[in-house]
Structure 1
């Protein structure tokens, strides 16, 4: 089976046996913390490892990198890196690792930092691959600059390029935006989205930021006290009522959509997803452009009758109630809705839920006050 680091780039043919997936089963005990996970993750796309500080996100990443030695098994797209008889040390694992801090060599230029990383790979086209990474991350104009003269966002882009240059079979990123201010985060996020679109290898992304999860992830693993309490596709996992990923005020779903219509007079665009469509602000979209929608539960209301045209809410969707869960406070309920093939969440008061007499299986109308394109 052929794999590709970049979708329009270098090809090679490694020996694969089990199919495209990361299988990670680890057990690691410390005095005050234990990691105990059994995961099967996609062999391509971005998997976010999400949870509060101390939940085990970085420990799991270090186990995959071989920086910790847990009991268990690890295979990456069919290649076994660890089992009962085998443990590949870090230097023999074909991976790239990007830390919170870029950890660049201050005595070398950007070019020197990038070419230094090539010493650990025997990949015959490594120079071509490095050139692709430089173009992908738009750092060509920085090559002769000292790393001490880079901004935080530029440093991280160089660190990512260095990690890609070794032809990794998996890219590990440990909260790469945590040390950056908001301006630098906005600077580097588009490049992370480009990685999401261009890389054919899996990217495991540690974060405690729900915004980064919504913007980048395809698959979501929620960790708590060293255990994976949920693992699955982003949309379905965010919609689970038994696993509140965020406080009620921030509960939301993320839907993949496509721009199918524009209203130039009112600067609006219609985004279609699996089950319906909503009007959003037109951010100079192109027709057919793929986007991600974030719909907050607090921006969804319910009614049993089709709302009047005079209602100020543009977006009204036919839905079926799937489940009703408790919020963080007794006064709040979170309702899981099904809109076509897509889930939706609604946050309402317990009193409203009782007045509407809602129950699972009931057909209702969901009114969406606001749907945001994730930028």
Structure 2
């Protein structure tokens, strides 16, 4: 007995299947080989018969990470177009270009301007897109320039870090401002390549602190006769949150020091002075979870010595090349919860072993599988 879907008119079935496919392909892959399409192809013979029409009318937005990703994607499109059992002419009408996907955090956060502009900018990434734009097929109708000032791996693996990262003054003001000219050049080159028939828009996430830089790009584009808008998310400036106590404890135990070199007119980082500072140095860049911060503060208020000793033990474990596993002494459930949370933040595996009151936590050095 056929299902109600199979009894529908063919044209209606095709349009339903078309609506079932995602409108964004992130990252861009040949639609025929995407997971949603493959799932539909395996439903039934009737659905497979409808898929050639669906695929040839499927026009998603392709999300491209870098110029090399664009080149590989176009190569795959050309390669597989002729090996399928039906005539396949994929649509390439909507595309999103991630401008700063390959950016480096250290470069973006660089604050010393005395060594030249190249130390804190990524002009080469924008210029690479300028070179790649002419390779985009002429059938394109919409081009989104994703100018989110955050590296791609952070956006994909740690999206919860992105809002705080782009709110940083070093990113929202200095980094974005420094790239006004090259972004404007990219917009102009894209406009010259495709003319007024293609809609060019800016997208992504920006801090409200970057509003003036964004307005400058839009205004300069308008003067050049290019109508662009920002269609992404503008994040409101959040009130400054005080440093968590666990961060203050790390800073007190292992302070970060710099030394000014008068002859070179710059400051240099001073390495840790002792073993304790060396062991805790890696904790300065840790993004402690909210649960970790609350638990550590609560326990430190009752037993500061124990909380400090826990930090030191984690620091010793992090820097030890010989230790792959460590067992903590038996502790109560709240202390075990703190150890589990800290292990998760530090990318260690943790498990509770034993029975009360001798139950303890064991941590191991390999990435957690969530």
TM-score in same-fold range (> 0.5): no
Q: Identify the structure with bigger relative contact order (alpha carbons < 8 Å, sequence gap 6+).
A: 1
**What is the TM-score of this pair, normalised by structure 2?**
0.24
Compute the TM-score of the two structures, normalised by the length of structure 1: 0.24
Greater Rg by CA: 2
Higher helix proportion (structure 1 or 2): 2
More strand by share: 1
